[in-house]
Amino acid sequence: MQVLNFYSTIFADQLKRGRKTATIRLGDKSHKYRKNQAVLVTIGYQYSPREKIFDAVIDQVEVTRLRDLSPRDIEHDNPEFRRHEDLVHFLEQIYGRTVTMDDTVTVVRFSQIIDKPAGMTEAIKGFGGAQN
């Protein structure tokens, strides 16, 4: 299974509460992540123990220029950010290099996989909802 790892522990709470539903990565990562792919979402540093947060499915992978991201795209990556300047500063800290508005980024949107959500099985089977 592919891993979608986050280094910063500040994301743990956002992920667990469903507030972080995307990640913005520098460069074209479309070869690495694909729509409908199952991934293991973890937090931790390379060569160190990592905490499993949850299993997820990738909903969408979009390659674009950083300048073309909407405030909503940025917010899905980090609920505390909405401005390009905030994201640029954050990416520079993570990648250790200068980031510009012309840089290519990949937006990976994902949804948590829940083992057995209440009511979902019945809804799929047609129980408890509208009658046919």
With respect to residue 130, please indicate whether it lies within any of the assigned structural domains.
no
Domain count, the chain: 1
Tell me, what CATH number does 62's domain have? Answer: 3.10.400.10
With respect to residue 132, please indicate whether it lies within any of the assigned structural domains.
no
Query: pLDDT tens string for the chain (132 positions)?
Result: 899 999 877 888 999 999 999 999 999 999 999 999 999 999 998 899 999 999 999 999 999 999 999 999 999 999 889 899 999 999 999 899 999 999 999 999 999 999 876 666 566 666 555 554
Q: Which domain holds residue 21?
A: 2-125
Identify the pLDDT of residue 53: 96
DSSP state of 128: S
Nearest Cα residue to 35 out of 11, 63, 12, 14? 63
Helix, strand, coil: what percent of the chain each, to 5? 25, 30, 45
With respect to residue 131, please indicate whether it lies within any of the assigned structural domains.
no
The tokens describing 92, both together, are 């520079």
Identify the pLDDT of residue 120: 62
